Chain A
Amino acid sequence: MSQTPSQLPRRPLSPHLQIWRWHITMFSSIMHRVTGSASVAGAILIAAWLVALAMGREAYTCFLTLASSPLGLLVWFGLSLAGFVHLTGGLRHLIWDTGTGFEPKKADQIALWTMILGVVLTLAFWAVLFATGKVTLS
């Protein structure tokens, strides 16, 4: 406490993933970074979608052929999963930012249920897409 800035030790880097004992709030925190990073790929693909659209019918049809192929759909599914889990994870962090929900039991429950909600939203989104026939596997 009485140290002046020049006597402070070098700030360490964050602990690396392998030193943590597994617990759910640690898992949800890591998943928030993983889903956030994956969403960067989502932003790139959505920008690519818009650019293809601006380039005209031919370019857009080419984009759609890739995007609606089984592999393309798998990519969109993964990106939507990352997006929804990051969205509900963000909700969790906003709740914690208000200073509530930090009791270990409550924190565990918030971590668990926000992750489950993210998965449920993703499955519901795709269930609707397939049920309305807007997306088909062919």
Chain B
Amino acid sequence: MSDNRDVGAKSVKSWKKSEHHGAGEWLAERGTSLVLIPLTLWAAYAAYSIAGGGFDAAIAFARAPLNAGLIGLTMLISVWHMYMGVKVIIDDYLQGGLRGFSIFLTFLLSAALVLATGYALFVLHQGA
């Protein structure tokens, strides 16, 4: 891969490609934003409802199937949104190998968050 900040190095083919996936990214950014409005407000309400309740309140909350599903969904959409947002910042200020490495690290963090959440929800469900 050459330095893809160099617009001149792009072929007509890659211009065509970005012409198509650009709209998808734009829509995904807006779509995740819209969905996260109710989900994060729900998360704030959930935090309020278990605050001060200790382990028992938290585990009862997280084992309810609807709550577990919403926790998983909120984390998944948040991580997707986060990955796109952080990538935009990286694209704006970094280039070359540092850009690629930073995006790779962001991807690793995103994957780790989703896997940790999924695993924890699985364990909680098993213990129910």
Contact = CB atoms under 8 A, between A and B. Distances in A.
B51 A93 contact: no
B51 A135 contact: yes
Contact of B123 (A5, A7, A54, A91): A54
A43 B113 contact: yes
Contacts of A33: 85, 89
Given A83-B40, A94-B33, A50 B116 contact: yes
Interface in B89-119: 89, 92-93, 95, 109, 113, 116-117, 119
A60 B6 contact: no
B3 to A, nearest CB: 9
Contacts of A91: 37
B8 A50 contact: no
Interface string A29-53: 0000100110110011011001101
A51 B115 CA distance: 11
B33 A90 contact: yes
B12 A53 contact: no
A105 interface: no
A61 B55 contact: yes
A14 interface: yes
Interface in A80-138: 80, 83, 87, 90-91, 93-94, 97, 125, 128-129, 133-135
A97 B27 CA distance: 11
7 contacts: A5-B8, A9-B8, A10-B6, A44-B109, A53-B55, A54-B119, A94-B34
Given A11-B7, A134-B48, 15 more contacts: A5-B8, A11-B5, A16-B93, A33-B89, A36-B86, A39-B78, A40-B86, A40-B109, A43-B75, A47-B117, A50-B116, A90-B37, A94-B30, A133-B52, A134-B51
Interface of B: 5-8, 10-12, 15, 30, 33-34, 36-37, 40-41, 43-44, 48, 51-55, 58-59, 62, 71, 75, 78-79, 82, 85-86, 89, 92-93, 95, 109, 113, 116-117, 119-121, 123-124, 127
Interface of A: 5-11, 13-14, 16, 33, 36-37, 39-40, 43-44, 46-47, 50-51, 53-55, 57, 60-61, 64, 80, 83, 87, 90-91, 93-94, 97, 125, 128-129, 133-135
Report the 4 A-B pairs with minimum CB-CB distance, sorted nearest first.
A134-B52, A54-B120, A14-B92, A134-B51
